[in-house]
Amino acid sequence: MFKSFGRGERTSATTVEHPALQVKPRHIGIIMDGNGRWAKKRGLPRMAGHHAGMLAMREAIRACDDFGIECVTLYAFSTENWKRPVAEVEYLMRLPEQFFRNEIDELIKRGVKIRFLGDTSRLPSYTQETVRTSMQRTEHNTGMTVNFALNYGGRTELMSAIERYAKEVAEGRATVGDLTEAKFDRYLDTAGLPPLDLIIRTSGEIRLSNFLLWQAAYAELWFTEVLWPDFTRDDLFQAISDYGKRKRRFGAIE
């Protein structure tokens, strides 16, 4: 429907050859913000912004893979996003189907493994089918892992993790008092994934918005004024380069 809308003037004009990254994060989380404002600036419906954001997401996944990132988590739809207009929510629920229909073959060729974070049981049946199919088709891939946080909220994830732990205690499969941070990790949606190293947020907002709250404890944060549909490979390279210059002490003295 919105195929003819471009992503803005920055996309092709700024792309350059990038040197090899000497220090890079294993796991990047991206809060893809600004689709609606991008559309409003151009006098377009919000759905056009979401379509352009999907194209930017495709390029970000390709760039992360090309840069050798091990894992990327994309904040696609939060538990709070249900408050949006019904028509917008319905459009957003259709985007995964459109995205994977167009991109799954390339993702498989790249060896990408798809995972989903969040409660997908509340999603429409057609979206749930897309979730199942994309995971099944990539489950044996050994390349970069791409997580789509869909109907995801950090607080909900923590509550669900506590419930899982409590259930194991009640069933005698876990013992009160033996829980450590490392053991708690396995109750989270991100179980088995590398620690979160870097969070990127676009559009000038400076907050986490309920994204990977436990995992973000020692993640580096990088914010940009760029609206998500205008976010390019160059912006990603800049974020990773900046990450490589930071000193990560984790509470210790250098």
Is 201 labelled a binding residue? Answer: yes
Is 27 labelled a binding residue? Answer: no
Is 137 labelled a binding residue? Answer: no
Radius of gyration of the chain (CA): 19
The residue behind tokens 């969040």 is 118
Q: Answer yes or no: are the C-beta atoms of 64 and 144 closer than 8 Å.
A: yes
Is 141 labelled a binding residue? Answer: no
Q: Give the DSSP letter string of 200-215.
A: EE-TT--S-TTSSTTG
Catalytic, out of 66, 81, 185, 234: 81
Is 207 labelled a binding residue? Answer: yes
3-class SS shares of the chain: helix, strand, coil, % to 5: 45, 15, 40
Q: 146 forms bridges with which residues in the sheet? A: 72, 114
What backbone torsions phi and psi does residue 3 show, to the nearest 5 degrees?
Answer: -60, -30
Is 46 labelled a binding residue? Answer: yes
Is 192 labelled a binding residue? Answer: no
Is 222 labelled a binding residue? Answer: no
Is 58 labelled a binding residue? Answer: no
Active site (annotated) includes residue 33: yes
Active site (annotated) includes residue 102: no
Is 228 labelled a binding residue? Answer: no
Is 209 labelled a binding residue? Answer: yes
Is 12 labelled a binding residue? Answer: no
Q: What number of other Cβ atoms are within 10 A of residue 238's Cβ?
A: 16
> Would you state the torsion angle of the CA atoms of residues 128, 109, 112, 152, taken in this order, to the nearest 10 degrees?
-30
- Which residue from 222, 64, 82, 214 is spatially nearest to 146, judged by alpha carbons? 64
Q: Answer yes or no: are the C-beta atoms of 203 and 225 closer than 8 Å.
A: yes
Pick out the residues of the known binding site for Mg(2+).
Answer: 33, 220
Residues labelled catalytic? 33, 81
Pick out the residues of the known binding site for substrate.
Answer: 34-38, 46, 50, 78-80, 82, 84, 201, 207-209
Pick out the residues of the known binding site.
Answer: 33-38, 46, 50, 78-80, 82, 84, 201, 207-209, 220
